[in-house]
Amino acid sequence: MSKFEQTYIMIKPDGVQRNLVGAIIARFEQRGFKLVALKMVHATPEHLEKHYEDLKGKPFFPGLIKYMASGPVVAMVWEGLDAVKTGRSMLGATNPLASAPGTIRGDYALAVGRNIAHGSDSVESAKKEIAHWFPEGIVQYRSLLEDVIFELR
């Protein structure tokens, strides 16, 4: 059974610099997901270290934090059926060279350390990441397309 979920999707500094914000948002909109939170943030290293706390100690961690803090990111929450797993499949593999064409990383990126966008890897991390990036809370609204897209009843 597919589940109605929220996932945290973030366009990384390279995605912003390369003017891919609109293209990435369009993919989620066109797939049928509902946008429930959106903002641009130039995050501090401390905020990013918390976001990536599971990766602390990896050799690429310092470079990852430096890259993520190098410019603004676009933080978003998207809602819909199997949003977490589907968001990950739309992103492609962590290493863009292993990402299938048609995915965001497979269409726009080449280097693992410049892979354009982030997506939560589980419902539990999505909850944590949404609370971390949107402590002010997110909006609630009914999409008029829900009956057409989601087959909820």
Helices (H), 1-153: 13-17, 21-31, 45-51, 61-68, 83-91, 104-108, 123-133, 146-149
Size of the site for Mg ion (CB under 5 A): 1
Binding mask 62-101 for ligand UDP (x = CB under 6 A): --x-----------------------------x-------
3 state DSSP class of 42: coil
Question: In angstroms, rounded to a whole number, what is the distance separating the alpha carbons of residues 133 and 105?
Answer: 22
Cα–Cα separations (whole angstroms), residue 127 to 21, 81, 84, 122 = 23, 16, 10, 9
Decide if residue 118 touches ligand UDP (CB under 6 A): yes
118 a catalytic residue? yes
Q: Smallest distance from the beta carbon of 92 to Mg ion, in angstroms? A: 13
Q: Which stretch binds Mg ion (CB under 5 A): 13-21, 64-72, 84-92, 120-128?
A: 120-128
- Residue 89 or 139: which CB sits closer to Mg ion? 89
Asked if residue 90 lies in contact with residue 27, where contact means CB atoms within 8 angstroms, the answer is yes
Asked if residue 17 lies in contact with residue 110, where contact means CB atoms within 8 angstroms, the answer is no
For residue 72, what are its two tokens?
């603004």
Q: Smallest distance from the beta carbon of 88 to ligand UDP, in angstroms? A: 8
Q: Smallest distance from the beta carbon of 1 to ligand UDP, in angstroms? A: 25
Decide if residue 115 touches ligand UDP (CB under 6 A): yes
Q: For binding to Mg ion (CB under 5 A), which residues are involved?
A: 121
Active-site residues: which are they? Answer: 118
- Summarize the annotated binding site as residue ranges: 12, 60, 88, 94, 105, 115
